[in-house]
Structure 1
């Protein structure tokens, strides 16, 4: 290699390093700016209330069936002692629950509209250590796909929702999916009853490689993946790489969006109709660490996430000490740690701006926000929060 080539290589490497340092420096400044004591208090909702605080908590994901007016909630109080993403491995025997919430009903109390979903034909041993994270719902067929972070290893569980009796809905289990490419499934998008896009948030799993997983997070190494899964042909392939791949949603029939939590940004991809591969077309920078994504009927991208990771980390490491069960042991609920929330939307246009909808601690650790445009209703779930926040526009 000649001198000029070595100089060019050095300059290119230096440019890449400087770009990375600038990016990490920006995230550091964002963390300082978003300290809870300095965080702006924003509420763009016409009305809102926190419901079901005494019935459910630690709800990570939400999907709507707008035609029938219900939401499916993925909740896991056991996340306090078992969180494979945040690195909590105390006890895995307190399982999570999937719920159906009839949010459109205005004639009965919220508590009467909440239904735990029994898992029919799901083996008892798996049910005892069931830790649901992201879910994907296909309304026309009732298929529900669930990322399960069980202590025996991650799986994707396939159910069908039986809504024949709205007062006694249940889930019928069909199959358990495991695959080497699904080593850390986080969020899922059901393109059809048999076709999925699934994110793995890291290359190195926290339980097996704690140091490398933490390093991957902090340096924003693009070890996260998006996997295309065809359940009919049993074919799986990686179609994108990005740092801390998290929420995924379809913007339309040709494009989808994926959150990169530690960047923090959302990347828009064009879907190749033949190969199903993803081609990045746009990167949207935001002022918080995005968790999950959803798309409303008007094509707006709705994002929820975490403005201050140190606060969320404190909740993740100490929430198990709180006396949520009322046994008298542990810290009172009023002294539980708090982590702020951030909910925003983007109109889908390259020139469009991100509009903040909610920023604050009244409802903390926001992980998903969904909107029913026709009814003017939205729901926010909290990774380590009691109940859900329901807003009206």
Structure 2
């Protein structure tokens, strides 16, 4: 039996569960007899092991199972009877003071909160939009050209020219030897041979690149280099070193011409440059549309978080904190980092977990009240949109529809989009045009 529900706080509740010890013992004996039919022990045929030996071997395990089953069933019955929406898992502890012959447990738990969304017709949301112009297409082509760069010895005549005077300049790839010292003593990581890098890419500290510019092959230069206070090498951070570099190899960058061969290298079979530009534009517009959608979704979600009023169950925050920590651990492991025994303090993820849980409760309320669930035709349309950038769209459809978890991920995306459209339809919205570079440099996440 279970007592009436006690209110311990805004969301915290307690139910006391009790049942006669005789019930537990009867159920344990019943299960022991079932176990005895297949139990094995040295010197006995299967099923012929004495019940006392079976009890000695399996009694504790079976008693634990019986208690868990009875307490769990009693708690669920009490929660259903009282129409409680239990958040997370109950914390069940045996009660010290119990009547003779009675087992008593306290189940402490939280319930889902009431969620007040607020008047969405009064909120103001600023959305963004961006356009893809010829300038963005040209920038993308330059990036693609640099990805296909070829380096040739500078100053030597060749098929594409000699690259000009054999003096190191921005854009050249240089190969150097260098050695650094602080107060006359070399330090770890301050020495290398045949070290290549491209001038102007910012891979090296500015003083290092500046000293390399203007050198010819075989020339050396000694110069001071002040390491920043926040430099990743703690032993040298904030200190000034003396470096000597020697230029051993100098190459100039030959970028491919934007011609038919270049277009073919990008998958345009007939080498049509105009078609290549159109393909690039389509891809950029798809990327822009995705990022605009993400930015606007984040604006809506942030508005909902600020507008809604609710108490967030601590148990759900704790669960999501553990989930985020495990996701981080798995991600780091996949990157080759050994984090098996590294502790992840919960406070690292608590704030993000609290926001995720809060937002999830708000979305659930909105979806339920306004019938914003993802419809099958919406899910299919979303998957077909994903498939547009693949050679065989049918394989993409098969990929998602063959796995319920993958399909659920798409359903969640569609549901969020339904919420975004619903909120934007009610609220006061304004639209701002942002620069392409600003949009592409953002990483909005809800």
Same fold (TM > 0.5): no
Q: Identify the structure with the greater strand proportion.
A: 1
TM-score with structure 1 setting the length: 0.21
